[in-house]
Structure 1
Amino acid sequence: MTENTDFHHRLLTGLIRLLESRGEAVTRIETHISSVLLCGNRAYKIKKPLDLGFLDFSTLERRRFCCEEEVRLNRRLAPDIYLGVVAVTGTPEHPQLGGEGKPIEYAVEMRRFSQAGLLSDASEALTPELADAIADRLAAFHAGIERAGPDQPYGDPQRVLFPMTQNFDQIRDLTGGAAARPLQQLEAWTRQQYQALEPTLRRRKAEGFIRECHGDLHLGNIAVDEGTLIIFDGIEFNPDLRWIDTMNELAFLLMDLDGRGHPGLAQRVLNRYLEQSGDYAGVALIRFYQVYRAMVRAKVAAIRLRQPGLDAAAGAALEQEFSGYLEQAAGYTRPRPQALLLTHGPSGSGKSTVTGALLERLPGVIRLRSDVERKRLAGMTAAAASGSGLESGIYTPAFSRRTYRRLLDLSAALLEAGFSPLVDATFLKQAQRRPFLDLAEQRGVPWLILDFQVPLAELRRRVSGRKARGGDVSEADLAVLERQIEGSEPLDDREQARVLTWTPEQPVAAERVRECLWPGA
């Protein structure tokens, strides 16, 4: 035991004695870089005096600084949890929290919350509504955090590639050459993708998408406590690990959801985040970063396999975990079948509700909503009211053409990135539909029209009710509905050949959509 670790051990023993003297039961939790003492409604996190290269807690000054950084960074997402930094005074055997005298250590003081709420352990808590809340919180967080300047090194392409290739080298050293072929294939794919994506990486930095993120966004760092969403334990010890592309951060969460058996919720989070942020261009990097994040997890499993004293059962579980992450990474490198889907139907026919439910069952499908993108073009949030009347403001024919052009451009970009756009718009005019069908045929992917047919009386009831309730993205009223019905152009023979009709009596299941697009897949 070194002098520093002996000091840390004696200090913890003294702190436990201090807290127990106050009548509190104390639980001690150890991680490889910190010790946490849980007592009553408080948690005290003390950093271990270590220098691991990628982190340096070796001096009291460094530990103080990192405690302050931990509070600063994590208050952005969990202000009610991170209460502050408290000095530990006295001696290791007789310490005081916040007492008088010269500090001998520092601790992060936190409000304690139930560990039962950790989403890594409570899969039943992962509902679609919670997935939406996480995506909304993340999109809002990313919109408000600091961006890397052009003179800062963060986000430079070589700096993005280095930890990825370093992972492969480290895993080979840890495993002694095991899994050599899949590692070689994954590294080759990573390098090939890097070459293709280097201009995108440069553009992402220039456009401000390298930001001071959380850095460690997986389900083990997300909890629900008494109905409150908590995102905690962001990285404070190494700025390189948190000054990253926002898509890198999102990819870690998506990878973790996939790996824990929630691919549908990963789809939902991805779509909700993109709709909130508008960062559809970033999806070109999603799989690149998902492979990286899966390989980081594979490396962690390989490190744990080298721990002394591991019993046979634990070793077998870690070997399975390691192999699982390799296979998950490999899965992200395999091309998925693609398609382009359009909705067709007037306001109130259920397009957004139905397509929202389909997304979780259609891997790789990303929805584009005309109501949202129309307002984004106008510099408005989706929830904002434009105050536009019939065929005025953002609903003039010219603005509608701009909206459909944006939807077409986004669809082309999503297809280029290997995803499948589902365009949620009325598409009541042939001139609106034709460019999308042409795009699909030019790209060599199948297309499908989801035709929503609802009786006019029911449409009127839905639209008037929605307008009365307020709060919907769509601003259509009865006058808009009547104009849509009057000007609607029926599907032609070309379009009728690839249509699935949805009615309230005969809804369309995701399995039927897949069968029409990719028979036998």
Structure 2
Amino acid sequence: MLLLEELRKLIVMKKMQQMGGNKIESDSSPSLIKGLFEADAYPHETDAIRLIETHISWVLLTGQYAYKIKKPVNFGFLDFSTLDKRRHYCHEEIRLNRRLAKDWYLDVVPITGQHEHPKMDGTGIAIDYAIKMRQFPSPQTLRESAESGELKPDEIDQITRIIADFHNAIEKAEEQSPYGDSQDIKHWFDENFHHIQPLLDDKQQLSQLEGIAFWGNNEWLRKSALMQQRKQQGFIRECHGDLHLGNMALIGAKVVIFDCIEFNPSLRWIDVISEAAFLVMDLLHLGYDGYAYRFLNRYLQHTGDYQGLALLRYYLTYRALVRAKVTLLRKAQNSETSACEQILSDYTDFADLAERFTKTSPVMLIITHGFSGSGKSTYASQLAEKIGAIQIRSDIERKRLFGYSAHEATHSDIESGVYTQEAGQRTYRHLVGLAKTVVDAGFSVIIDAAFLKVEQRELFRKLADECRIKFSIIDFQASEETLCNRIKQRQLNPSEATIAVLHQQQQAAQPLSDEEKNHVVTINTERNGHALEQLLTALSLLN
């Protein structure tokens, strides 16, 4: 079932980006669609009318508006066979997509009249229904931007804010609902192998697939209780369901996410970390490793869902397997030699990516050290993207711990509110717990905090020893003048540090001990355009 669903998505996900394509001449189109090529079928002026056709829908482009009509088909997992069902799923598509693209999905309108002479949004008895949308002014999706090397950090940041806020707002599955049980999650994971294996004849590929399947079963056995627990905790939600760059467009410098899965609730009522994994996998596949970790880090900092990292590799593997499966189906339906060679290459890419997710890499625990304004957060963020690590920011987690959002002012003075000695100790203990969660999930972690006291640093050195992983301290330095200037220039920053806070830090700071210096990399961030490169080199030498 999922194989057919993914083929459908492979075809449909291009529908918006193709809106600038050529009209499909279609003598095989039914009389209704032929009738809708006439300008007088619409209650508004039209440009030259164009048609995009998939195996489940027709999309008519009229200039200002696009109209999507569902075909009367039944594939088991998808049933549009009756007028009532088509009307129902039209309304579902509007409901679901308005959550993220309310300005583009306008209404469900009746098609009236006769099939040979239809009227869109007419009066009388409906012969069918259409989803009325504003037509995108540009056909380009973010996938095409990525493929041409034009994807930008600001677009990743927009996506992160949109998805994090979306996941926070959408409906949660009730505990007695059929969605999100660990057995159900395993079913969708395992179904990939049932479909891929008969389509392979290469022994090496079959062996690779067997290894991934073996890992997947063991990983599920280890994590099934957590999967079930996350359903009880409310992490199974009515998500988008198909969150990849092909379903995102940039319109007027604003990212718009469209084309939710409307026809099968099992494919959208999923763990939010599974949805995030889809985009991470897509970015990694397209060679945007830094952007993948940029999205993941900002998503986790927004949501605080570090627990979900324990399932991330399972979901990344699942998403890559689904894409691998779809490529093999394309090969089965294409007899052209050159096309088959490209398809096999695509399969190999996705299968290798799935295998990559099953393998662990050496894990590091890195802490920062330095005063406010020294560049800790800036360079920790850049470093996390470069090495594929999780950055945990103390400024954000301190506020979350005490019930504040990242950019919310706590109105705390020095040694008051969330900045008392007791609050600081509680914050660092909390950071230790988060760091262990990340490390246990198989990811390197950068704890972004001032770490001005020996006892704070010692907590993390001991954790690294207990976990038997590498431990490093990055000591960020800058002049007094630079520190003060940076603090004054901060805007919309989770840190609430002031010049007074800086002076208090300088008075209370405990220097790095000789033993600690064995783990230290010192970086001066003042007028140093090569600080990140030097940091990467120093870390590799230290470790």
TM-score normalized by the length of structure 2: 0.91
Q: Does 1:344 align with 2:398?
A: no
* 1:155 aligned partner: 180
Q: Which of 395, 415, 426 is the aligned partner of 2:439?
A: 415
Q: Which of 14, 25, 32 is the aligned partner of 1:11?
A: 32
Q: Does 1:138 align with 2:166?
A: no
The Cα offsets for residues 382-419 of structure 1, whole Å up to 9 and x where unpaired, read as: 11001111110010001111110111000001000001
1:44-59 counterparts in 2 under 5 A? 44-59=67-82
Q: Does 1:204 align with 2:225?
A: no
Q: Does 1:481 align with 2:506?
A: no
SS at match of 1:211: strand
Q: 1:519 to 1:190 in 2, by over 3 A?
A: farther
Q: Which of 518, 536, 543 is the aligned partner of 1:497?
A: 518
Q: Which of 467, 471, 478 is the aligned partner of 2:492?
A: 471
Aligned Cα root-mean-square deviation (Å): 2.0
Q: How many residues align?
A: 512
The Cα offsets for residues 201-224 of structure 1, whole Å up to 9 and x where unpaired, read as: 011101100000000000100110
Q: Does 1:232 align with 2:241?
A: no
* 1:406 aligned partner: 430
Q: Which of 278, 290, 308 is the aligned partner of 1:252?
A: 278
* 1:450 aligned partner: 474
Quick one: distance in 2 between partners of 1:425 and 1:239? 42
Q: Does 1:433 align with 2:451?
A: no
One-letter code aligned to 1:156? D
Q: 1:519 to 1:344 in 2, by over 3 A?
A: closer
Cα drift, residue 194 of structure 1:
0.2
Q: Which of 292, 312, 317 is the aligned partner of 2:342?
A: 317
Is the contact made by 2:521 and 2:539 (CA closer than 8 Å) also made in structure 1?
Answer: no
Q: 1:7 to 1:314 in 2, by over 3 A?
A: closer
Is the contact made by 1:117 and 1:225 (CA closer than 8 Å) also made in structure 2?
Answer: no
One-letter code aligned to 1:335? T
One-letter code aligned to 1:473? P
SS at match of 1:292: helix
Cα drift, residue 512 of structure 1:
4.7
Quick one: distance in 2 between partners of 1:454 and 1:420? 26
* 1:164 aligned partner: 189
Quick one: distance in 1 between partners of 2:540 and 2:224? 32
* 1:392 aligned partner: 416
Quick one: distance in 2 between partners of 1:520 and 1:427? 20
The Cα offsets for residues 474-505 of structure 1, whole Å up to 9 and x where unpaired, read as: 11112111110001001011210111111125
Q: 1:520 to 1:494 in 2, by over 3 A?
A: closer
Q: 1:17 to 1:464 in 2, by over 3 A?
A: closer
Quick one: distance in 1 between partners of 2:206 and 2:421? 59
Alignment identity in percent? 44
One-letter code aligned to 1:322? Y
Is the contact made by 2:41 and 2:118 (CA closer than 8 Å) also made in structure 1?
Answer: no
SS at match of 1:452: strand
One-letter code aligned to 2:248? I
Is the contact made by 1:344 and 1:450 (CA closer than 8 Å) also made in structure 2?
Answer: yes
One-letter code aligned to 1:250? A
SS at match of 1:121: helix
* 1:331 aligned partner: 356
Q: 1:508 to 1:390 in 2, by over 3 A?
A: same
1:180-219 counterparts in 2 under 5 A? 180-219=206-245
Q: Which of 91, 104, 127 is the aligned partner of 2:114?
A: 91
Quick one: distance in 2 between partners of 1:19 and 1:320? 47
Q: Which of 58, 77, 90 is the aligned partner of 1:35?
A: 58
The Cα offsets for residues 41-80 of structure 1, whole Å up to 9 and x where unpaired, read as: 1111111211112211111111111110000000000000
Is the contact made by 2:200 and 2:206 (CA closer than 8 Å) also made in structure 1?
Answer: no
TM-score normalized by the length of structure 1: 0.94
Is the contact made by 2:435 and 2:445 (CA closer than 8 Å) also made in structure 1?
Answer: yes
Is the contact made by 1:337 and 1:518 (CA closer than 8 Å) also made in structure 2?
Answer: no
Is the contact made by 2:41 and 2:117 (CA closer than 8 Å) also made in structure 1?
Answer: no
The Cα offsets for residues 290-324 of structure 1, whole Å up to 9 and x where unpaired, read as: 1101111111111211225x422222211111111
One-letter code aligned to 1:202? Q
Task: Give the gaps of 5 or more residues in structure 2.
Answer: 1-25
